[in-house]
A and B are shown apart, each in its own frame.
Chain A
Amino acid sequence: MEVKMKSLPPPHGGNLVDRVVRDPERGKKLAAGCSAVYDIKPTLYKEMPVRNVYREIMSICYGFFSPVEGSMTQAELESLLEKRRLLSGWIFPYPMLFDISKEDYKKLGVSEGDRLLLRLKGQPFAVLDIEEVYEINPGEVATRTFGTPEANPEVVKVPFDFKHPGFTIYSSFNPIILAGKYRIINEPRLRKPFDRFWFPPAKSREEFKKRGWTTVIAHQTRNVPHTGHEALLRNAAFIGDIKPCDGIVVNCIVGAKRIGDYPDEAIVEAHEMVNLAGYVNPKRHLVTICLWDMRYGNPIESLLHGIIRQNMGISFHMFGRDHAALGPYYDMYAAQILWEKGIPSFGLEAPPYAVEYGLHMRPQNMAEFWYCPHCAEVTYSENCTHKDELQRYSGSFIRSLLAEGVFPPPVIMRREVYQVVVKWWKEFGYPFNNKRYLIEREKELEVDLPPMEIPKFK
């Protein structure tokens, strides 16, 4: 019996997608073949940015979303919404679409077979080879993406509405879809502090090899870590082969988020501080990012997380209660249900690792960590029996604590981690995302683009 894991899992779909042109001269030639230019705009809801398609283009072209290579055709979108599968058969959770308004479509005058130049922050960024142009009903795409209590009774509890950020994102899409493959022709530079956390799949695999890691566990986050998170990631990492996992990878989802969340800058640096301050040895802890405007889709989002992390070379993924969730829409254990037995109404008759064209990554469904005054430690809910004394962690409670200016006790948050929160609080004048931060952030984005001379377009 072979029990030792000797290699990292293969990329989802077999090969890592790499659609980044690194030679600027070749990039210019591709730009010259374009028939029109389009300046990428954020998706807005009530004048607030809720998504920027540039993040999807980055994550697709750098291979995080392998095997997806571009904006989906109508047939692919239908296949995905019907059974969460690409036309090639590989499982995939979310529609990836390049949407524009009818007015912009008319102005551009493009059609199938044309190459469209996509500009970001005033500079050439990528090209889209248009294979198909079609129209969607954004509300219908949103509803089918997340499900309904009638169609998906296993996990959907309440109909989705505009209080749900993911539903809002898809509902706010423009109706015209340009389908086709993307190629980045002018490689963006990640801005500080995100640059040091940029480990796209090819690079993360290289990094794991360099560190000698063959068993790696992923920790999904959109939060500054409290000691409950830390206990979760440390304990979940006891899974492995003949010994606990070699590496723990924290993968922060960076993108537009809701008002009241922590700024991404604080999230990435606070996680890094866990290893800089020595609470988890930096030799087995790596903080990374993925650009994506979080949809808060609980089981659906967890499938995307599995794909992202398997593509990065990660063998295990911890899934907790209310994974990537917000509000009462899904069962709080929906993600764990998906990874334990599948969700047939979403086209997954079995867990994602047990279906054909599924994932190789193994889930680690975790219950809860809470603070028990009786045990005098942060403890696993399946171990501790002091149910009348336990103290549950709550991100909302901790945010309230910080907002009221209360120094979080070490039993809740490491002092060095809190100092990082305060560092960014000083920078932005506010500890959490507010309207001003989100608008400003959307202008700056996470990248800068080098200047690139291209032919003039009408």
Chain B
Amino acid sequence: MNYLAVLLDTKRLSDIKGSPLEGKVTDMFGGAIKALVMEVSDDQTSKIIDNLPGARLDARFFIEEVPIAFKRALFEKIKTMKSIGPEVIDAVLADLPRIKELAAKESESLPVPDIDISEALELQKKATS
């Protein structure tokens, strides 16, 4: 058995608030990260890895480096089907052609996070001056 973790930011947490999914939220790294962890059969794992370039099983037996489009589609299905069971993965796999199209665009560029990086730049400047 392998696993897939769907990360939950504030928006996603509020989307599942009050649903049975709320009780299935897993704490990772001492609660610093919240996620829904899904079990994935070997057959489903092969379908994911064979169809999505870059996707791989890591040392924890988690499927990682799947396109963001896949994770987004997965969360949408989780939300509408109110489940993290195997049927959710099957539903996402049925939508693979569209996900692959979106993933191709994603491999060209990803939006840069809007964060202040002046602290690091200042440290670099100080060290090289």
A322 and B108 contact, Cβ closer than 8 Å, known pairs A260-B65, A422-B115, A423-B120:
no
Whole-angstrom distance from the CB of A45 to the nearest CB of chain B? 14
Contact indicator B119/A430 (Cβ below 8 Å): no
| Measured CA separation A420–B120 after assembly (Å) | 7
Extra A-B contacts (7), CB below 8 Å, given A394-B58, A399-B65: A273-B120, A391-B28, A400-B71, A406-B7, A419-B115, A419-B117, A434-B107
* Interface hub of A391, A397, A407, A430 (most chain B Cβ within 10 A): A397
Contact indicator A403/B59 (Cβ below 8 Å): no
Q: Which residues of B contact A405 (CB under 8 A)?
A: 110-111, 113
Question: Which residues of A395-426 have CB atoms within 8 Å of chain B's CB atoms?
Answer: 395-397, 399-401, 403-407, 409-412, 415-416, 418-420, 422-423, 425-426
Contact indicator B64/A407 (Cβ below 8 Å): no
Contact indicator A436/B108 (Cβ below 8 Å): yes
Contact indicator B7/A422 (Cβ below 8 Å): no
Contact partner of A392 (CB less than 8 A), chosen from B9, B59, B115, is: B59
A242 contacts partner chain B, Cβ-Cβ < 8 Å? no
| Measured CA separation A426–B68 after assembly (Å) | 19
Q: Which residues of B contact A410 (CB under 8 A)?
A: 32
Contact indicator A396/B58 (Cβ below 8 Å): yes
Q: Which residues of B contact A400 (CB under 8 A)?
A: 7, 64-66, 71
Contact indicator A423/B121 (Cβ below 8 Å): yes
Whole-angstrom distance from the CB of B10 to the nearest CB of chain A? 11
3 closest A-B pairs by CB: A396-B64, A409-B32, A419-B120
A431 contacts partner chain B, Cβ-Cβ < 8 Å? yes
* Interface hub of B31, B62, B71, B117 (most chain A Cβ within 10 A): B117
Q: Which residues of B contact A395 (CB under 8 A)?
A: 58
Closest chain B residue, CB of each to CB of A415:
B119
Contact indicator B128/A196 (Cβ below 8 Å): yes
Q: What are 15 of the A-B contact pairs (CB < 8 Å)?
A: A260-B65, A277-B120, A282-B127, A391-B30, A401-B7, A401-B33, A404-B7, A404-B68, A409-B33, A416-B119, A416-B123, A422-B113, A422-B115, A423-B120, A430-B108
Contact partner of A260 (CB less than 8 A), chosen from B54, B111, B112, B115, is: B54
Q: Which residues of A contact B113 (CB under 8 A)?
A: 405, 407, 422, 425
A24 contacts partner chain B, Cβ-Cβ < 8 Å? no
Closest chain A residue, CB of each to CB of B117:
A419
Contact indicator B68/A403 (Cβ below 8 Å): yes
Give 1 or 0 for each of B99-118: 1 = CB within 8 Å of chain A CB.
00000000111111101110
Q: Which residues of A contact B7 (CB under 8 A)?
A: 400-401, 404, 406
Contact indicator A416/B120 (Cβ below 8 Å): yes
A426 and B119 contact, Cβ closer than 8 Å, known pairs A260-B54, A396-B65, A409-B33:
no
A411 and B58 contact, Cβ closer than 8 Å, known pairs A273-B120, A430-B109:
no
Closest chain B residue, CB of each to CB of A435:
B107
Contact indicator B60/A394 (Cβ below 8 Å): yes
B124 contacts partner chain A, Cβ-Cβ < 8 Å? yes
A-B contact count (CB 8 A): 119
A321 contacts partner chain B, Cβ-Cβ < 8 Å? yes
| Measured CA separation A345–B126 after assembly (Å) | 51
Contact indicator B110/A430 (Cβ below 8 Å): yes
* Interface hub of B9, B27, B29, B120 (most chain A Cβ within 10 A): B120
Residues in chain B within 8 A of chain A (CB atoms): 5, 7, 9, 27-33, 53-54, 56, 58-60, 62, 64-66, 68, 71, 107-113, 115-117, 119-121, 123-124, 126-128
Closest chain A residue, CB of each to CB of B116:
A419
Closest chain A residue, CB of each to CB of B8:
A406
A371 contacts partner chain B, Cβ-Cβ < 8 Å? yes
Contact indicator A399/B29 (Cβ below 8 Å): no
| Measured CA separation A406–B7 after assembly (Å) | 9
Q: Which residues of B contact A269 (CB under 8 A)?
A: 124
A391 and B29 contact, Cβ closer than 8 Å, known pairs A397-B5, A397-B62, A406-B9:
yes
Contact partner of A407 (CB less than 8 A), chosen from B31, B115, B119, B124, is: B115
Q: Which residues of A contact B116 (CB under 8 A)?
A: 419
Q: Which residues of B contact A403 (CB under 8 A)?
A: 68, 110
Contact indicator B64/A394 (Cβ below 8 Å): yes
A304 contacts partner chain B, Cβ-Cβ < 8 Å? no
Q: Which residues of B contact A332 (CB under 8 A)?
A: 59
Contact indicator A411/B30 (Cβ below 8 Å): yes
Contact partner of A412 (CB less than 8 A), chosen from B9, B29, B108, is: B29
Q: Which residues of A contact B107 (CB under 8 A)?
A: 434-435
| Measured CA separation A426–B117 after assembly (Å) | 11
A396 and B110 contact, Cβ closer than 8 Å, known pairs A401-B7, A416-B123, A419-B117:
no
Q: Which residues of B contact A394 (CB under 8 A)?
A: 58-60, 62, 64
